[in-house]
Amino acid sequence: MNTYYLDINDADFSLDSAGDRAARAMGPGCALVDHAQIQYGSAATAQARLQPRQIQNTFWHQLDRTPLKSPFPVHLTAADLVHGHLQQLLPRLSESERRLTLAVPGSLGTDRLGLLLGIVQALGWQIEGMVDSGLAACSAGLDLVLAKRSRLPASLLFLDIQLHQTLLTECRLIRSPDPQGSPKANLMRTRVIREPRVGRAQLEQLWAHQIAAVSVRTNRFDPLHHATSEQALFNRLPSLLEELDHQSPASVDILFEGRAFSIPIHREELAEATQSAHAALVDLVREAAGNQADAALLLSHRAGEVPGLVSSLTGLVGAPIVLSRSTPLFGAMKATTRRQPNGHAQLLTKTLVALPDGSHGPHLAAPVATAPAERPNGEERYPNGTGRGRRTDQTPSPNHPSHVLYRGQAYRIEAPRFALGSDLPEETRGMNLKRPDLGIQPEHCHLIRDRDGLWVEPFNAAPCFVNRRIVRRRTRLLAGDQLRLGEPGEAVQLIAVVS
């Protein structure tokens, strides 16, 4: 059974159904809201200049539940548009086939990540894992780096362009001793830097104005003065960039009021139009690289297709390597290959383990996700019921749940003792599920956090089920576990949200 892999980037989403480096372009995060009808992606951008007041293209960038401003309907939120867009992006499958891994940008904060998880769950998809997209790209691109140099770089820098900003993700290779004597290192995302002045939307505006200036010189016709010709110009931009990558000049042909206008465009002209953007991105990479002489720069396919950008960045940390559309998804696939025994993956991966790959001799390559510790047979970690055991790692585990996911909403477990029930006392910290008709007691169970992790403890012998197995005493919980309260009961999911 295939897992689907979705690269979330509002400039250009990508979907892969098998992790086989055959990702499909799914269009940008854009919506055309025309009364009750909403169009998404390329269908929306094809009308953006004809109906500019009905276009919304910041709902991924500003994902929240705040109602959108006029002229949009008063009840409509960015979360509603993300829900509708995902519904269109993802294929219609039977419930058992809805398995999804997300490559998410480092710009998503904790709250938006939790909201996104709730939306995906509301659509009926099982999340196999979430991986930082910059880390996934660096993981899959490491082999390409090693093919071009004689030794392992100290860090990898990944530059990716979103619709309204550019992100630079820094990943460091941290070597660790191995008793077996084989090389081993962790590939860790160490920071994400934003450049809000450069996004795909800003670049397209600069390119359009340059093309219009050429048209005025050659045809005495300005396509930006009329909505229909302006729309035709913007519709041509994606294929124009692709053509200019193979030949220059290329022609932009616009039919307006019965007249045909042909505008010859050279790649250098578009590169010249975005020199200010290039300078900003050069500063971004230079800031991230600092004094690192041994860093490698990777560009997403979105950054690689910007005319002149590769040349502008060459020499800062060697020659940039342009990755394919499929690279982050292939990295996400490798990162979620190893799962917990209960079938759930760690929900956000920010550190990968680099394993030796014979094709590169002693080098480290082929990164995969760190697998969570396996639980013992049965659901109870400590059969004596004391809830105490030997600590093997003094660092808090990323498998410790931080939120309860219930009906599309993520609730932070904000107290050392967090109660779940149908009618909690006013002074009790926790959340009400308000379903006594499903066998949920007023105070059904407690989630208890200590130095060893998170535990569930039934209250007054109320029935609780962890991953469909009944538990009668304190039991440890991991991110990805399902907790059902009562009979027939109501289920919640434990998730780990990492900012």
Q: What percent of the chain lies above the pLDDT cut of 70? A: 83
> What is the average per-residue pLDDT within 341-348?
43
pLDDT of residue 236: 95
Q: Which residues contact 275 (CB under 8 A, 6 or more apart)?
A: 308
274-283, 356-365, 412-421, range with greatest mean pLDDT: 274-283
Q: Write out pLDDT tens, residues 97-134.
A: 788 889 999 988 888 888 998 899 889 888 888 899 99
Distance CA 243, CA 157 (A): 28
Interior angle at CA 248, CA 243 and CA 249, nearest 5: 100
| Banded pLDDT at 345 (limits 50, 70, 90) | very low
Helix (H) or strand (E) holding 338: none
Q: Write out pLDDT tens, residues 439-485.
A: 898 889 999 998 888 999 998 888 899 988 888 888 999 888 889 99
Give the 3-state secondary structure percentages of the chain, helix then strand then coil, rounded to 5: 30, 30, 45
Q: Domain spans of the chain?
A: 403-495
Q: Write out pLDDT tens, residues 368-397.
A: 222 233 333 222 322 223 333 322 233 335
Structure-block tokens of residue 309 = 């950008």
Say if residue 396 is preceded by a cis peptide, omega within 30 of 0. no
Choose among 182, 63, 130: nearest CA to 346.
130
CB 401 within 8 A of CB 495: yes
Higher-confidence residue: 307 or 340?
A: 307
Distance CA 110, CA 377 (A): 33
3-class SS of residue 498: coil
pLDDT of residue 394: 32
pLDDT of residue 357: 36
199-203, 311-315, 369-373, 440-444, range with greatest mean pLDDT: 199-203
**1.20.1050.140, 3.30.70.260, 2.60.200.20, 3.30.450.20: CATH of 403-495:** 2.60.200.20
For the beta carbon of residue 69, count every other beta carbon within 10 angstroms: 9
For the entire predicted model, the pTM comes to: 0.71
pLDDT of residue 331: 86
Q: Write out pLDDT tens, residues 55-64.
A: 999 999 999 9
Which residue blocks in 22-180 are alpha helix, DSSP H? 42-45, 78-89, 110-122, 133-148
Q: Write out pLDDT tens, residues 223-250.
A: 999 999 999 999 999 999 999 988 889 9
> What mean pLDDT, rounded, does the chain reach?
82
- Cα distances (Å, whole numbers) of residue 217 to 214, 235, 237: 5, 21, 20
For the beta carbon of residue 208, count every other beta carbon within 10 angstroms: 19
pLDDT of residue 181: 53
pLDDT of residue 174: 76
pLDDT of residue 349: 62
Distance CA 447, CA 308 (A): 55
Residue 93: alpha-carbon gap to chain centroid: 22
pLDDT of residue 336: 67
Least confident range of 306-310, 353-357, 415-419: 353-357
Distance CA 33, CA 78 (A): 12
Q: Provide DSSP, 350-361.
A: -EEEEEE-GGGT
pLDDT of residue 13: 96
Q: Which residues contact 203 (CB under 8 A, 6 or more apart)?
A: 161, 274, 277, 306
pLDDT of residue 352: 57
Structure-block tokens of residue 41 = 């992606």
> What is the average per-residue pLDDT within 30-50?
92
Q: Is the pLDDT of residue 256 over 80?
A: yes
pLDDT of residue 178: 56
| Banded pLDDT at 364 (limits 50, 70, 90) | very low
Q: Is the pLDDT of residue 429 over 80?
A: yes
Q: Write out pLDDT tens, residues 166-179.
A: 999 999 887 665 55
pLDDT of residue 350: 60
